[in-house]
Chain A
Amino acid sequence: MATKIFLPRLGESITEAVIGRWLKQPGDPVARGEVIAELETAKAMMELESPVKGTLLAIFPKTGDTVHLEELVAVVGKPGEDWDSSEKPIVAKADDESAKLVQKKDIKTALMNDTEIRLRVSPNAKRRAKELGISLENLSQIVKDGRVTAQEIEAIKPATNISDSETIPYTRIPLNQIQMITARRMVQSAQTIPQFSVSIEVNADGLINFINARKSIGNSKITLTAILIWKVAEALLKHPRLNSRFDGNAVLQFQEINIAVAVAAPEGLFVPVIHKAHQLSVEEIAKKLEQITSRLKNKRLEIKDTQEATFTISNLGMRGITSFIPLVDPDQTAILGVGALRDGIQWDETSILLRTRFFTLTLAADHRVVGGAEVSDFLATLKQLIETL
């Protein structure tokens, strides 16, 4: 088979050469290693040798021609041999490519105009706005300067029928700090926690007797709430997984039981905390509760009163609510919703109807941490603790 000779890479930066002179012509015999042409490159004069012994069958560039990388230069073989002329490497068109000028668009630096203040919205805010379906067009009314962040976005109620609500007259009532924080945390809870709830009916007879007994000996301040805190703490000792928080790839099980109680005040929703409830007697709990509520009423609630809660109780029973599903605090795993005391009927073993009092407890929880079985067991324990008071 005939051997084709291509212009090799004569140096790292050399992509072409000029034929200085052919030392052999087609038809001449050549030995392996014999010089057949002289090449001129940017660096030096080089010699082109024949790689095989044979007859020079063809040469392509003429003296003075420029040859490019991998271009076919010559063919050596047997006299009269047929060689495939179709296999020619593509000549590099290096210069044409670089000659193409890239059209650059004139970019006006339209950043800051003296009279124009550009609204800066953080990437995080844009993302949250998108998720919540909020349009960014009307934001200038909310934020006068600085950057719009996700916090501001989340505090906005997404407009549903924008055109309709534009024509209805309204009064704009800004949210205060407490309400803003609450709003943010409610959204965070709804957005990030897969919540589910389980309810149970608890017989309140024993509980009511307990309260009355304490009342009669003058401990008038042992409230239903205090007793619930006391018993919930006891139940959490047996079911510690509900006294925890989800943390990405783990559950942080708290070593203290700090129970928060939701309290509605004119200013907004407060959630003061009874710390280390598992170590307190019901009297101590009742006393702390009284002190906190008093501080709250006098607007003297301290930061530490609202920090480090591990579990929350929300009681709407005094407002007549039979049952409800509260929202889990974003830093906790579970919350207990307490309904109103109601009259009921119960059967005993001999099928005698008895009048009884009961109420509904609803536990809402983070399904990443616990499932139906665990919350059910917790409520069963709690029911038992309350019913055996």
Chain B
Amino acid sequence: MSFKRPEDVATPLNLDGYEKPFLEKLFLRMVRAREFEEQLYYLFLTTKMPGTMHQATGQEAVAVGVASALNTDDYVTSTHRGHAHCIAKDVPLDVMMAEMFARRNGVCKGMGGSMHLCDFSRGMLGAFGIVGAGIPIATGAALTSVVKGSKQVAVSFFGDGAINEGVFHESLNMAALWKLPVVYVIENNQYALSMPNDLVSAVTDLSSRGCGYGIPGEKADGNNVIAVYEAASRAVEKARNGGGPTLLECITYRIRGHARFEPADYRDKAEVEQWEKFDPIKRFKVAALSGGNFSAQELVSIEKKVEEEITAAVAFASAGEEVGAEDYLQYIFEQPSESAGS
């Protein structure tokens, strides 16, 4: 049984020593990620939503903690469960929502949908529908940094399922061999769709896999945004200074099912409820109030702000033009195609 109980994983969350604006940013990003997905969750019942979505509910601290250790021009690759990574990188909510609605004013012009969100102006190289696909791509972005001498860092987010893809191993080997400035973040939410870690991985100490390539492995309490931030900062700093890659395992839990309408019957309700008690946003609020870093009012006003942002995003998306039948012809190649028929 590889199931990790939250009380065994959790480390104390202390907001002291950090500037208020920075902490606000952390909280804002986590709440945005949460509310964006919650709103969408219900939109799937009341609106004809094309496609589906994969929620990162309960995992927000990993995305936000890591992204907050990065500059805007540092690179990030993500997975099919990529909304939180985008939001953590400050991709605007309105164009993300419009993309979910398959509108022309979506961040990918309605051509990609939930699993392929990206924003190159913010270093967000993309969510990918193929498990593990982003790992070598982030490694390649790190290669560019070395060739150009730019000091940019690349972060690859992936899950406990992706570490069994061949490209994971190929990438880690080359990153270590060439000391590339990349940080590999395993978002271990303990399930790869229906499979818990111990049913698919011979060694369930996931970050220990780095030792096969001489890459130091680290573990962090994935629902503790400060713990994640600190571990990520160290890894990013090391990479930026030519110290090579790190394998950072953030242990968290996927509160919702794998995808919208996937009921996750393979899990005990009790297990889910256990982890819900260690919800990262709840923990932040508790620490903020008990540590005197925020007043209740301040937190509520941030939450209200986010509510308004989301409402505006939905309005923006609903007002957007639906994708035209022939829009795709512009995006196959750099040169727009007149037709794609034979």
Contacts and interface: CB of A to CB of B under 8 A. Distances in A.
Co-complex (A, B)? yes
Interface of A: 3-6, 8-11, 32, 44-49, 51-52, 70, 89
B220 to A, nearest CB: 30
A44 B43 CA distance: 22
Contact of B48 (A11, A44, A52, A70): A70
B61 to A, nearest CB: 22
A52 B42 contact: yes
Given A8-B44, A32-B42, A46-B261, 11 more contacts: A3-B46, A5-B46, A6-B45, A6-B48, A8-B45, A44-B265, A45-B263, A51-B43, A51-B45, A51-B46, A52-B42
Contacts of B52: 9
Contacts of A70: 48
A9 B50 CA distance: 9
B268 to A, nearest CB: 16
A8 B49 contact: yes
B193 to A, nearest CB: 13
Contacts of B261: 8-11, 46
A45 B48 CA distance: 22
Contacts of A9: 52, 261
B45 A5 contact: yes
Contacts of A8: 44-45, 49, 260-261
Contact of A44 (B46, B49, B260, B263): B263
A3 B42 CA distance: 11
Contacts of A5: 45-46
A9 B45 CA distance: 9
Contact of A46 (B44, B46, B48, B263): B263
Most interface-central of B43, B45, B46, B260 (chain A CB within 10 A):
B45
A32 B45 CA distance: 12
A46 B263 CA distance: 7
15 contacts: A4-B46, A5-B45, A6-B48, A8-B44, A8-B45, A9-B52, A10-B261, A11-B261, A44-B263, A44-B265, A45-B263, A46-B263, A48-B45, A49-B42, A51-B46
Contacts of B263: 44-47
A47 B45 CA distance: 12
A285 to B, nearest CB: 55
B69 to A, nearest CB: 33
A194 B98 CA distance: 59
Contact of B46 (A6, A10, A11, A47): A6
A5 B45 CA distance: 6
Contacts of A32: 42
Interface in B242-277: 260-263, 265
A4 B265 CA distance: 27
A49 B261 CA distance: 11
B311 to A, nearest CB: 13
Most interface-central of A4, A9, A70 (chain B CB within 10 A):
A9
Contacts of B265: 44
Contacts of B260: 8
A48 B41 CA distance: 12
Contacts of A47: 263
A8 B41 CA distance: 11
Contacts of A48: 45
Contacts of A49: 42, 45
Contacts of A6: 45-46, 48
Contacts of A52: 42
Contacts of A4: 46
9 A-B pairs closest in CB distance: A51-B42, A10-B261, A51-B45, A5-B45, A8-B44, A51-B46, A3-B46, A46-B263, A8-B45
A168 B78 CA distance: 88
